[in-house]
Amino acid sequence: MPSYDPASSQSPAFVPSALAGTLAIQIAEQIGIAITEEKFAPGERLREVSLAETFNVSRATIRDALRILESRALVRILPQRGAQVTMLSTPELMNLFEIRAALVALASRRAAERYVPAHAPVLEASYARLKAAQKDANAYARASALIVADIAALSGNDQLADMLAGFAQRIGRYARLGLATPKRRTQSLASWATLIDAIKAGNADLAESTHRALAHNNRDAAIAAIAAREHTETPARRARARVSDAA
């Protein structure tokens, strides 16, 4: 397994001095980001000893973190084999994206319906952050997740915001694949501009349809990227993966 330096992530810093009860959650967040950004490959085993050394914690804490990641469908824990990074099937991925599309569309509709001028700075700052990240796939994917969270907050529906937050890492790895190319990020940014304008205009129908289409476009691009990756994967690479699996 390749080494992973948590300090290299642009996410909030890992804080060992935090309350003991949150330590496994912090570690789960860091490993989850690494999985989302494919520092760990689909099917790769996550070895407790190596992770415990990396984070300077006990194996018991790592096991707790891996259980959290299993609940988010980012890893699966197999008897006698430990934790493995998951790879969703195409039908599973389609189902998750369909649910998320409905949620984000609803969030944007509610944000448009509730819009007041005081919300403009939040939307404009979110869009500016997204635009600034356009040249970097990982940064753009993170900025995209943040703008969704901002719109969910503006929707005024706390339960909806919580549901979208729960999807963030679970589907983030695949959303990132759908934004991997400069062309896709350019298309995405244009859609976000339309969406922000619709919310600020109080046009709930346009906000809803634009965000739903944005989510569907990202789904289609992600599935196409996965299919292309599988098509170009060499027999030797597949053989190495089988050997790694059996180790």
pLDDT one-digit tens code per residue, 160-170? 999 998 888 77
pTM, two decimals, is 0.74
In the three-class reduction of DSSP (H, G, I as helix; E, B as strand; rest coil), residue 51 is classed as: helix
- Please state the domain extents for the chain: 6-87, 90-230
What pLDDT does 212 receive? 97
Cα–Cα distance for residue pair 172/212, rounded to 1 Å: 17
**Which residue bears the tokens 């996965």?**
226
Min mean pLDDT across 69-73, 174-178, 242-246 is at 242-246
Q: How far is CA 48 from the centre of its chain?
A: 23
- CATH class for the region spanning 6-87: mainly alpha
Task: Say if domain 90-230 classifies as CATH 3.80.10.10.
Answer: no
**Tens-digit pLDDT profile for residues 173-224:** 888 888 999 999 999 999 999 999 999 999 999 999 999 999 999 999 999 9
What pLDDT does 173 receive? 81
What pLDDT does 14 receive? 53
Is the CB of residue 45 less than 8 Å from the CB of residue 84?
Answer: yes
Q: How far is CA 227 from the centre of its chain?
A: 19
